Amino acid sequence: MERRPYPEFGKKYMVGNLFLFIPLAGLFYLMWRRWGNFDPVFFLLLVLFAVGVILGLVWNRRRLKRFRCPRYGLSIPAPVIEERTCGEPIDYHCPACDIAWETGLREGGVE
């Protein structure tokens, strides 16, 4: 099996996370500024923040299951991870071209 780098997927994934992080950071800042008031606006911000975090987690999980082979366009639903340990690369193997595409992403977690 041949291995080839495909860093565009990892870059798009990280830029998407940045666009998710900025509004969540703004909501968190607004919540922090209203801390102690516990008025309806604070609780609205809290609910929006919680919904944003949950939707962000679902969205990230979904994006990791929608990898397409750059050569054949074949949808690959799961990365090839030998062991789910911190720092393990998240690569995708295409059976059509027998290439393991290296995304540049790594399995997260606490060491």
Query: 75 phi and psi, to 5 degrees?
Result: -80, 125
- Does the residue 86 lie in any domain? yes
Task: Let me know if residue 62 belongs to a domain.
Answer: yes
Band the pLDDT of 80: cuts 50, 70, 90.
confident
Domain holding 80, by residue range, is: 2-103
Task: Over range 62-66, report the average pLDDT.
Answer: 86
Does residue 59 or residue 108 have the better pLDDT?
Answer: 59
Domain contains 47? yes
Q: Residue 3: helix, strand or coil by DSSP?
A: strand
Residue 80's closest CA among 64, 96, 60? 64
Flag whether 110 is in a domain. no
Is there a domain that residue 72 lies in? yes
Average predicted confidence (pLDDT) for the chain: 89
Task: Judge whether 37 lies within some domain.
Answer: yes
Q: Is residue 108 part of a domain?
A: no
Tell me if 111 is assigned to some domain: no
Q: For residue 111, name the pLDDT band (cuts at 50, 70, 90).
A: low
pTM over 0.85: no
Q: How many structural domains is the chain composed of?
A: 1
Query: Cα-flanking dihedrals φ and ψ of residue 41, to 5°?
Result: -65, -40
Q: Is the Cβ–Cβ distance between 48 and 31 less than 8 Å?
A: no
